[in-house]
Amino acid sequence: MKQRPVVDVSHLPTYGFGAASPMWWGTLAFIALEATGFALAIGTYFYLAVLAPHWPIAAPAPDLAPGTAILIILLASLVPNHLVDRWAKQQDFHKVRAGMVFMTIVGILPLIVRIWEFPALRISWDQNAYGSIVWFLLALHTSHLLTDVGDTIVLAVLMFTQKGKVGRRLSDVSDNAFYWDFVVASWAVLYLVMYWAPRM
Amino acid sequence: MSSIRQKNADRIEELKGVRDTGLDEARLVAFLAHAWQTPKGLYGWLATVDHKVIGRRYVVTAFLFLILAGLSALVMRFQLAAPEAGRISPDFYDQLFTMHGTTMMFLFAVPVMEAFAVYLVPLMIGTRNVAFPRLNAFSYWIYVSGGIMIWIAFAFNTGADAGWFSYVPLAGQFYGIGKRPDFWAQMVTYTEVSALAVAVEIIATVLKQRAPGMTLDRIPLYVWSVLITAFVILFAMPAVMVSSTMLILDRLVGTKFFDQAAGGDALLWQHLFWFFGHPEVYIIFIPATGFVSAILPTFVRRPVFGYLGIVLSLIAIGFLSFGLWVHHMFATGLPQLGESFFTASSMMIAIPSGIQVFCWIATIWGGRPIFATPLLFVLGFIFTFVIGGLTGVMVASVPIDLQVHDTYFVVAHFHYVLVGGAVFPLLGAVYYWFPKATGRMLSERLGHLNFWFVFLGFNLTFFPMHILGLQGMPRRVYTYPLESGWGSANLFISLSSLVLFVGFALFFLNMLLSFRNGLPAGDNPWGASTLEWATTSPPPSYNFPRLPVVTHREPLWAEPDTLAVIEGLRVDAREVLGGMVADAVPQLRLPSADNSIWPLLSATAVGGTFFASIYTPWAVVWGAIPISIGFICWFWPKGEPEDEE
């Protein structure tokens, strides 16, 4: 078949940010499927709550302190997170490096606090269905937190190597910031469900 | 044109890498073949990220699982051929029907549909690979290890035995035998991870990598169908991952999700499972309708009637598929208002399905049909699927469903829908695209024989099951009493299943013989209109020497001899074109991932962790270490040439 060139793409860039990047769409798709997982787990929580004569079943409502502390840390982290995203889009390598180190620390903090959060649920996972579902929700969120912190650490290290001085890495940093927003937003919802629904 | 060349010639010095602009054909092909090659030998076989190689592998593996599942059905028919037969034990029968259903749904039907998408989508939208090629490779390794695991477990008498939907409490901690339900639950996790990975990459590929000019209203209907399927997967599959994880947690660490005595609920399982399970049917069916919409125009020699109507119907089916799950639970004593809602929504989905059927009939009506094997399967599909659809409307009605629930009527219904609605178009699709994938035609003579044996064998096997069901024969019984009077019908069904078996044997025989000795296919043996037929058969590793530009919904019919193409992509490194979501205007030159062994190693780490977690929850903790190493090595940049830019 004969070919008839009609479009020249030679001067197009090799990376972009946000909706221009396939990786952003991939990240969005993963967020969508994980959000569905969260939604179904939350649905399970309320399904079991409606069936139970008393909710929580045979346990006091969870202790507010650690979960609230994590919520505050995560909400506060949105500020540096968006700064890193902005610096990435401005292609400012120096600020991105500093921001990624900071975001690594900000990401590890809630993981440390979470060590106290599991006992603060004041029930074991195998005691009854209420215990099972709150542990499930918390573990689900912790796995997301761990994943994104891991990703942040790897990207932060990468930014200090020769291979980090590449425009495409900045696009990765921006997508990482996007995913962190999801981790924060999902905790805001889970926090309300786990800590305030039993107090209603 | 010449001005473009001149401009590029002036600027070529300042551009990084070797571009295809103005390169003569021989050098262009040499560069591309080098950049996109899969190395020879074992390493290349394990490390390839070529979507065509992975797609072919997926198809072959899925068909091997089809054979296993089909053989287990034959053994069941051998047992049921006579009343009170003692040819196999009840326990083995339980494992057989569970493995049959599980394999057909999780290891054959969904993967084979995804396999075709993995193979065809980049070719049909005019790109060189899927958006995340390594994720694609990873998904295959995860899928195949999950499938092998559950069949090895079966070989060691640990086959899942609680049905393909593994209801609790039968599969729960009190009644589930040994590790059987755990293998089932973890196999689900493997295959869902794999399916979700493919869904993500298909979405990103279709949205971002379409050829310039392929606006939303020029996307081939098959590609629309797999895009919508990918979205359905995205929102349906998490439900079964959540539920199967809860099941294994109940069994392994004593959670109480499904334990009625501790505030759990057995029906919770059914809700979560069917929230996935019903869309699952459409995950299988929607791509099959895509096959039909791709095959029909080619063999009736006219564009499909009602393109927009079909796209909107597919989207409607995708949405409505999430509003049907409770119709699997009518016999559980749910509130009547809820049942009425799900009856209404179950009947509503017949509307978009019906619109599609009428569009296809109108397409045939306005065309000049050529009765080649792919078209025969499409016609067989329309006939069979309409019957399955009609019994579907029947069982959507609560009073009828309560009468025929768990009887052979339901078995007949869903085989008509799934085999008639999905396997027939699938077989047609194999006949249609086999020449593209292998460069050889399948035998038409064997193809016609294959069709008639499968079509008649199928109807003779499954139609009498409607009657048996109405007479009260329950499903999932390993035998039945002589006095029931079901003996002769069952014998007839078992003998008919042999006809079906011969039909499938002819199918595989045709593939084997034609792969070696089939007639050469040429680029476009059917005179079809979509982009995959613009390249050679089989396509080269880079798919197209220059990426196409689309000017028409049926590009190869609008311009049969000339292909409008782009220029300016790198050819010394893997590069594809990224465009805008709605109108596909070129936006980026995207680097495409090279071959890598890390998807396989990561899949091994993930698979090993899943497997070990059947026995100990600590596997998740220890498994995290190799998984992390695998993923870091996978993503760590290795000095790609594009990074210079």
Residue identified by tokens 């499909």 is B304
Question: Could you tell me where the DSSP H helices lie in chain A?
Answer: 22-51, 64-89, 93-120, 129-159, 167-191
Q: Mean pLDDT over residues B567-575, rounded?
A: 94
pLDDT (0 to 100) of residue B13 = 44
End-to-end CA distance of chain B: 27
pLDDT (0 to 100) of residue B346 = 84
Interface residue A7 vs chain B (CB under 8 A): yes
pLDDT for residue B305 is more than 70: yes
Residue B436: which of B113, B125, B119, B130 has the closest Cα?
B119
Contact B443, B411 (CB under 8 A): no
Is B239 in contact with A36 (Cβ distance < 8 A)? Answer: yes
The pLDDT tens digits of the residues spanning B164-182 come to 999 999 999 999 989 999 9
Establish whether the linkage from the previous residue to B169 is cis, with ω within 30° of 0. Answer: yes
d(CA A12, nearest CA chain B) in Å: 5
Residue B525: which of B299, B365, B300 has the closest Cα?
B299
pLDDT for residue A125 is more than 80: yes
Taking CA atoms, B546 is separated from A185, B10, B207, B254, B565, in Å, by: 44, 21, 20, 58, 6
pLDDT (0 to 100) of residue B642 = 62
pLDDT for residue B9 is more than 60: no
d(CA B155, nearest CA chain A) in Å: 33
pLDDT for residue B481 is more than 70: yes
End-to-end CA distance of chain A: 70
List, as one string, the DSSP characters of B321-373: GGG-GGGG-GGG---HHHHHHHHHHHHHTHHHHHHHHHHHHHHHHTS-----H
Paired tokens of B353: 């399905």
Contact A200, A50 (CB under 8 A): no
Contact B377, B424 (CB under 8 A): yes
Residue B322: which of B202, B231, B444, B431 has the closest Cα?
B231
pLDDT for residue B640 is more than 80: no
Label residue B641 by pLDDT band (50, 70, 90): low
The pLDDT tens digits of the residues spanning A160-196 come to 998 888 888 999 999 999 999 999 999 999 999 999 9
d(CA B182, nearest CA chain A) in Å: 18
Interface residue A142 vs chain B (CB under 8 A): no
Is B256 in contact with A132 (Cβ distance < 8 A)? Answer: yes
pLDDT (0 to 100) of residue B12 = 46
Is B132 in contact with A26 (Cβ distance < 8 A)? Answer: yes
Taking CA atoms, B114 is separated from B11, B119, B120, B567, in Å, by: 42, 9, 10, 31
Compute the half-sphere exposure of residue B368: CA atoms within 13 Å on the CB side of its CA.
1
List, as one string, the DSSP characters of B43-71: HHHHH---HHHHHHHHHHHHHHHHHHHHH
| Residues near B474 by beta carbon (within 8 Å), at least 6 away in sequence | B406, B407, B408
Is B636 in contact with A30 (Cβ distance < 8 A)? Answer: no
Taking CA atoms, B554 is separated from B19, B338, B551, in Å, by: 29, 45, 9
- Which of A51, A150, A168 comes nearest B628 by C-beta? A150
d(CA B25, nearest CA chain A) in Å: 10
d(CA B238, nearest CA chain A) in Å: 5
H or E segment and range at residue A6: strand A2-8
* B583 interaction partners in chain A (CB closer than 8 Å): none
d(CA B129, nearest CA chain A) in Å: 13
Q: Mean pLDDT over residues B307-322, rounded?
A: 96
Interface residue A20 vs chain B (CB under 8 A): yes
Q: Mean pLDDT over residues B294-323, rounded?
A: 96
Paired tokens of B503: 């039909």
Is B254 in contact with A125 (Cβ distance < 8 A)? Answer: yes
Q: Mean pLDDT over residues B183-203, rounded?
A: 95
Q: Which of A117-131, B319-333, B534-548, B581-595 has the lowest mean pLDDT?
A: B319-333
List, as one string, the DSSP characters of B608-644: HHHHHTTT-THHHHHHHHHHHHHHHHHHS----GGGG
| Gap between the Cα atoms of B303 and B293, Å rounded | 9
Residue type, B542: Y
| Gap between the Cα atoms of A137 and A42, Å rounded | 8
Which residue from B minimizes the CA distance to A128? B262
* A130 interaction partners in chain B (CB closer than 8 Å): 263
Residue identified by tokens 């927003």 is A181
Interface test with B, best of A15, A48, A132, A159 (most B CBs within 10 A): A132
pLDDT (0 to 100) of residue B1 = 42
Interface test with B, best of A2, A3, A10 (most B CBs within 10 A): A10
Taking CA atoms, B156 is separated from B21, B65, B70, B325, B372, in Å, by: 59, 18, 20, 34, 45
Taking CA atoms, B146 is separated from B127, B192, B519, B631, in Å, by: 30, 10, 37, 19
Residue identified by tokens 């050469």 is B520
- Which of A6, A7, A32 comes nearest B234 by C-beta? A32
The pLDDT tens digits of the residues spanning B338-385 come to 888 888 888 888 899 999 999 999 999 999 999 999 999 999 999 998
User: How many residues does this entry show for chain B?
Assistant: 645
Which residue from A minimizes the CA distance to B4? A8
Which residue from B minimizes the CA distance to A10? B568
What ipTM goes with this model? 0.95
Model confidence, pTM: 0.95
d(CA B551, nearest CA chain A) in Å: 11
Taking CA atoms, B296 is separated from B122, B222, B441, in Å, by: 21, 11, 18
List the 24-43 stretch of A: residues with Cβ below 8 A of B.
Answer: 25-26, 29-30, 32-34, 36-37, 40-41
Buried b (16+ CB within 10 A) or exposed e, A154-179: bbbebbeeebbebbbbbbbbbbbbbb
Is B238 in contact with A167 (Cβ distance < 8 A)? Answer: no
* B253 interaction partners in chain A (CB closer than 8 Å): 125-126
Contact A173, A17 (CB under 8 A): no
Is B8 in contact with A26 (Cβ distance < 8 A)? Answer: no
* Residue A25 burial (CB count, 10 A): 22
Interface residue A132 vs chain B (CB under 8 A): yes
Paired tokens of A40: 């179904």
Which residue from A minimizes the CA distance to B199? A29
Relative to beta strand B586-591, strand B575-579 is: antiparallel
Burial of A3 from C-beta contacts in 10 A (0-12 / 13-18 / 19+): middle
Is B263 in contact with A167 (Cβ distance < 8 A)? Answer: no
d(CA B557, nearest CA chain A) in Å: 13
Label residue A73 by pLDDT band (50, 70, 90): very high
Interface residue A145 vs chain B (CB under 8 A): no
Q: Mean pLDDT over residues A76-81, rounded?
A: 97
Interface residue A3 vs chain B (CB under 8 A): yes
Interface residue A122 vs chain B (CB under 8 A): no
pLDDT for residue B7 is more than 90: no
* Residue B475 burial (CB count, 10 A): 17
| Gap between the Cα atoms of B304 and B316, Å rounded | 19
pLDDT (0 to 100) of residue B2 = 46
Interface test with A, best of B4, B200, B270 (most A CBs within 10 A): B200
Residue B578: which of A178, A15, A91 has the closest Cα?
A15
pLDDT (0 to 100) of residue A163 = 83
Contact A100, A155 (CB under 8 A): yes
Is A7 in contact with B567 (Cβ distance < 8 A)? Answer: yes
Question: Could you tell me where the DSSP H helices lie in B349-441?
Answer: 350-365, 373-395, 398-404, 408-415, 424-438
* B23 interaction partners in chain A (CB closer than 8 Å): none
| Residues near B556 by beta carbon (within 8 Å), at least 6 away in sequence | B524, B528, B529, B530, B531, B533, B534
pLDDT (0 to 100) of residue B324 = 86
Paired tokens of A81: 């997170």
The pLDDT tens digits of the residues spanning B38-61 come to 999 999 999 999 999 999 999 999
H or E segment and range at residue B587: strand B586-591
The pLDDT tens digits of the residues spanning B248-283 come to 999 999 999 999 999 999 999 999 999 999 999 999
* A30 interaction partners in chain B (CB closer than 8 Å): 200
The pLDDT tens digits of the residues spanning B127-154 come to 999 999 999 999 999 999 999 999 999 9
d(CA A25, nearest CA chain B) in Å: 6
pLDDT (0 to 100) of residue B645 = 60
| Gap between the Cα atoms of B210 and B580, Å rounded | 9
- The DSSP call for residue B443 is P
Which residue from B minimizes the CA distance to A16? B588
* A136 interaction partners in chain B (CB closer than 8 Å): 246, 249, 255, 257
